[in-house]
Amino acid sequence: MKKLMSSALAGLFALGTSSLALAQTVIVTPEQETVVREYVKKKPLASIKLPGVELNVGSALPETVELHTIDAPDINYRYVVVDNRTVLVDPGTRKIVRVID
C-alpha cells in the first residue's frame, strides 16, 4: 500500500511540475510576430553584441541592455537587436520570449 501511495504522489508531483512549466511558456502568435517584424523594419536599431549571453528562450538579458518599446496594440514585450536578430523580451523579467531571425 505504501508503494502504491508513493507512486501516486510521485505521479501527482510530476504532473504538477509539468503543468507549471507549461504555464510559463510564452506564446507569440504569428500575427504578433508579423507586427514585430514590420515595426522593426520601420524603426531599425543598431545590432549589438552580447558576448557570453546565449540567445535562448528563457535566458535573461543583463540590466545594461536597453530594451525598446514596440508601439503596437496587444504587444507588451520589448525588443533589442542582437547579432542582427530581433529578440523579444519580457520587460518584467528581462527573459527572452522569442528570437526572430
Residue 58: pLDDT band (50, 70, 90) is: very high
Mean pLDDT of the chain: 81
Contact partners, residue 88, CB within 8 Å, separation at least 6: 28, 36, 77, 78, 79, 96, 97, 98, 99, 100
CA–CA gap between residue 70 and residue 45 (Å, rounded)? 12
| pTM of this structure | 0.73
Q: What is the pLDDT of residue 27?
A: 83
Q: Is the dihedral of CA 22, 24, 30, 31 positive or negative?
A: positive
Q: What is the pLDDT of residue 95?
A: 96
Contact partners, residue 67, CB within 8 Å, separation at least 6: 61, 78, 79, 80, 89, 91, 94
Has residue 21 got a pLDDT over 50?
Answer: no
Has residue 17 got a pLDDT over 50?
Answer: no
3-state secondary structure of 87: strand
Has residue 14 got a pLDDT over 70?
Answer: no
Q: How far apart are the first and last CA of the chain?
A: 54
